[in-house]
Amino acid sequence: MRRSLFVILVASLSSGVALADLKVGYVDLQRALLEVGEGQAAKARLKTEMEKKKGELDAEQAKLTDDKAVLDKQGAMMSEEVRTQKFTEWQKRLYDAMQKAQKVQIDLQDKERTELKKIFDRMDPIIASIAEREGLTMVFEKTDSGLVYAPPSLDLTNELVRTYNQKHPAKTVPVPAGPVKSIPNPGQKDLPKNQPGPTAPPTQPSQPKDAPKQ
């Protein structure tokens, strides 16, 4: 990745652009995303929706835990047929809850990508306009270009943020959004953040006491 900037510069010089005429700049799109009003508003909306979904999934998980405890306690008093039926139903509910958690996480990731793409697409013409105004030959993205060092005077991020907010002001002033918690996955403790849930039925949980052999 770090070779990309060098390769582009060499290609430009080979195409007849004199080194003395080469003027470049760079932008930090990730910082710009966090600082433009629409980016902050999008993050706040996603955080609110995720917290709502997390609350719903937490309630389902708590109900599954309670029902499992009841099934363990009362299993010995049930007939083998009834125990088998109730345990099978509980397993199905657990699997359905895990699949729902996975779908919620994927849906939220898709919404985040859509929101970011819309903002980045609006940034592109602004960057081009700034480059033309400043007479720049090229503008690099700080991370993707593999840029290791450049003087702050070449950083166009502040101007990008200012112009973006002027052209596309956020409809409301969002409250700064804190870290977004991961969606819980029933039956899977300590799931790492931003990791999707299982795509296959979970490992069979411990059976209720005296549960019939499968």
Q: To which residue do tokens 């969002």 refer?
A: 174
So what's the pLDDT on residue 178? 52
pLDDT band for position 35 (cuts 50, 70, 90): very high
Q: Is the pLDDT of residue 104 over 90?
A: yes
Neighbours of 154 (CB within 10 A): 16
So what's the pLDDT on residue 19? 54
Kindly list the domain boundaries of the chain, sorted by start residue: 3-167
| Domain made up of 3-167: CATH architecture | 2-Layer Sandwich (3.30)
CA distance 104 to 96: 12
How does pLDDT run across 53-72, given as a tens digit for each residue? 999 999 999 999 999 999 99
Helix pair 80-134, 37-74: axis angle to 10 deg: 170
- Which is it for the CA torsion 33, 35, 39, 43, positive or negative? positive
Q: Which of 1, 22, 16, 15 shows the shortest CA–CA distance to 145?
A: 1
So what's the pLDDT on residue 192? 36
